[in-house]
């Protein structure tokens, strides 16, 4: 998909985005023509929002929703989480920032494992639910949202294993048949700077892409480095609270952190890799008990033989880099250079990123893609435009999991092998309650199972 440069977050970039959503969106458009606009924006033109998952990403997504301008009223009316303190903190922050748009009385704040149902039950068909819990619960929550006729914004990744990837693809088709609008939090795809770079690459300004490079190397990030469970918390709640540390909950640091760099590189290539080989390791573990490697190095291969090299690391005291690059037969490009935003996209002649070789750069003051993705999403709802990002989100998630599994097993993994892998990390999550055992249990040695490359090669942990 392409974007044109625009000085308006609600104008040209949205039209360009909606114009280029592809075959999936086209299918939805046929169905959309039979439905009235009022169904998708509420009969009073107000969009009501429920937030499921009240951590930092949920707070950010809800704020972006309420910041959408000039497209009619939007209100947050229900919230749910399994941690009371997170819900209270999120509510207090949003209510202070948006006092006229946050209407969530005590009776519409739900702290329970089935709170997602209660929060969605507060909405009407055509309203919006925001799914920002750990990814393990995404399929369950998305299925209920579809049954309620709700438009959905879900955070990335959307899956971390084969069985749930296949289920999510089935749900994607069902959501299209119901003409629901679904956004996926791969916000780099909505970035004006990256969109302009993509257009220039497609027009041949760096020639044919020969190599893509992606890096996310920093110190410990999120809850990826996790110490022993505190005595005053159940095993289940501990693992959900420290979700980056456990593969069942998040896909670990690899899936949750590296997917953006992987996805933006695949966008520039306009293709998905077909296989991956990788390495990685656990280094200075000290008291940490999580399942993550501290470093990952992946060689992805596209169908035409082109390579994408990915490096991830969460070790303090080492060189930091958070960027993606493309190298072509005529020149090279910076896809992103300083985290997710601003991208600071540039094109160079040759392969050396020097000032003398600079041919083009996106101007400063880039619109924030976290806000742009919400502007596009809400506009599609109000205008009843075809809009469904789930299939692309699943593909990005499967490609990410493919690299992770290659590192964790030590064998080459193809896209089809990852998609059809039968190892489901956490079956039966729909039945969880506060007294349930955790999906991952300590072994006889008092440690959680970790990947064993070259020993355990058909699954990522026993």
* 173 and 69 assigned to the same domain: yes
* 140 and 216 assigned to the same domain: no
Number of separate domains in the chain: 2
* 323 and 299 assigned to the same domain: yes
User: Hey, which of 46-50, 226-230, 312-316 has the most confident mean pLDDT?
Assistant: 46-50
How confident is the model over 223-264, as pLDDT tens digits?
988 999 999 999 999 999 999 999 999 999 999 999 999 999
* 74 and 181 assigned to the same domain: yes
Mean pLDDT of 200-220: 97
In a domain, 410, yes or no: yes
In the 3-class helix/strand/coil scheme, how is the chain assigned residue by residue? Answer: CCCCCCCCCCCHHHHHHHHCCHHHHHHHHHHHCCCCCHHHHCCCCCEEEEEECCCHHHHHHHHHHHHCCCCCCEEEEEEEECCHHHHHHHHHHHHHHCCCCECCCHHHEEECCCHHHHHHCCCCCCCEEEECCCHHHHHHHHHHHHHCCCEEEECCCCCCCHHHHHHHHHHHHHHHHCCCCEEECCHHHHCHHHHHHHHHHHCCCCCCEEEEEEEEEECCCCCCCCCCCCCCCCHHHHHHHCHHHCHHHHCHHHHHHHHHHHHHHHHHHCCCCCEEEEEEECCCCCCCCCCCCCEEEEEEECCCCCEEEEEEEECCCCCCEEEEEEEECCEEEEEECCCCCCCCCEEEECCCCCHHHEEEECCCCCCCHHHHHHHHHHHHHHHCCCCECHHHHHHHHHHHHHHHHHHHHCCCEEHHHHHHCCCCCCCCHHHCCCCCCCCCCCCCCCCCCCCCCCCCCCCCCC
* 172 and 289 assigned to the same domain: no
In a domain, 162, yes or no: yes
* 168 and 254 assigned to the same domain: no
In a domain, 448, yes or no: no
In a domain, 1, yes or no: no
Band (302; pLDDT cuts 50, 70, 90): very high
Band (41; pLDDT cuts 50, 70, 90): low
In a domain, 443, yes or no: no
Residue 6 has pLDDT above 80, yes or no: no
In a domain, 447, yes or no: no
Which domain CATH number covers 353? Answer: 3.30.360.10
Band (452; pLDDT cuts 50, 70, 90): very high
Percentage of the chain beyond pLDDT 90 is 86
* 130 and 226 assigned to the same domain: no
Q: What integer best gives the mean pLDDT of the chain?
A: 91
In a domain, 436, yes or no: no
Residue 188 has pLDDT above 80, yes or no: yes
* 226 and 175 assigned to the same domain: no
- What is the reported pLDDT for 294? 95
* 200 and 294 assigned to the same domain: yes
Which domain CATH number covers 93? Answer: 3.40.50.720
In a domain, 99, yes or no: yes
Residue span of the structural domain in which 292 resides: 192-367+399-425
Band (286; pLDDT cuts 50, 70, 90): confident
* 176 and 293 assigned to the same domain: no
* 211 and 242 assigned to the same domain: yes
Residue 20 has pLDDT above 70, yes or no: no
Question: What pTM, to 2 d.p., does this model score?
Answer: 0.91
Residue 30 has pLDDT above 70, yes or no: no
* 173 and 232 assigned to the same domain: no
How confident is the model over 335-367, as pLDDT tens digits?
999 889 999 999 999 999 999 999 999 999 999
């Amino acid at each position: 998909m392409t974007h044109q440069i625009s000085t308006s977050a609600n104008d040209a970039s949205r039209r360009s985005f909606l114009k280029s959503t592809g075959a999936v969106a086209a299918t939805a458009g046929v169905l959309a023509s039979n439905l009235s606009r009022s169904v998708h924006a509420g009969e009073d033109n107000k969009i009501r929002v429920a937030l499921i998952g009240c951590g930092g990403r949920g707070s950010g997504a809800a704020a972006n929703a309420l910041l959408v301008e000039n497209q009619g009223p939007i209100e947050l009316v229900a919230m749910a989480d399994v941690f009371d303190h997170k819900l209270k903190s999120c509510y207090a922050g949003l209510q202070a920032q948006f006092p006229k748009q946050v209407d969530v009385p005590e009776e519409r704040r739900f702290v329970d494992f089935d709170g997602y149902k209660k929060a969605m039950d507060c909405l009407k068909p055509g309203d919006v639910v925001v799914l920002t819990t750990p990814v393990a619960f995404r399929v369950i929550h998305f299925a209920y949202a579809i049954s309620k006729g709700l438009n959905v914004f879900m955070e990335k990744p959307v899956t971390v294993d084969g069985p749930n990837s296949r289920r999510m693809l089935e749900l994607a088709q069902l959501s299209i048949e119901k003409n629901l609008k679904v956004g996926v939090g791969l916000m780099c795809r909505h970035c004006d700077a990256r969109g302009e770079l993509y257009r220039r690459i497609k027009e041949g300004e760096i020639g044919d892409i020969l190599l893509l490079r992606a890096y996310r190397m920093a110190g410990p990030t999120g809850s990826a480095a996790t110490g022993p469970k505190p005595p005053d918390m159940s095993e289940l709640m501990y693992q959900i609270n420290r979700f980056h540390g456990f593969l069942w909950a998040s896909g670990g640091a690899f899936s949750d952190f590296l997917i953006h760099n992987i996805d933006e590189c695949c966008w520039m290539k306009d293709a998905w890799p077909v296989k991956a080989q990788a390495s990685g390791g656990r280094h200075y573990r000290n008291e940490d008990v999580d399942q993550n490697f501290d470093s990952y190095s992946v060689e992805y291969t596209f169908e035409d033989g082109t390579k994408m090299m990915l490096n991830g690391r969460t070790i303090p005291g080492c060189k930091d880099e958070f960027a993606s690059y493309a190298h072509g037969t005529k020149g090279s490009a910076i896809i992103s250079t300083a985290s997710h935003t601003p991208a600071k996209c540039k094109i160079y002649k040759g392969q050396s990123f020097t000032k003398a070789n600079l041919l083009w750069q996106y101007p400063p003051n880039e619109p924030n893609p976290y806000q742009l993705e919400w502007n596009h999403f809400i506009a599609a709802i109000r205008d009843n435009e075809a809009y469904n990002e789930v299939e692309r989100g699943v593909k990005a998630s499967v490609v990410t999991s493919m690299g992770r599994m290659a590192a964790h097993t030590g064998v080459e993994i193809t896209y089809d092998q990852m998609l059809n892998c039968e190892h489901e990390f956490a079956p039966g999550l729909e039945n969880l309650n506060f007294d349930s055992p955790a999906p991952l249990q300590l072994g006889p040695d008092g440690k959680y199972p970790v990947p064993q490359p070259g020993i355990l090669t058909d699954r990522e942990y026993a």
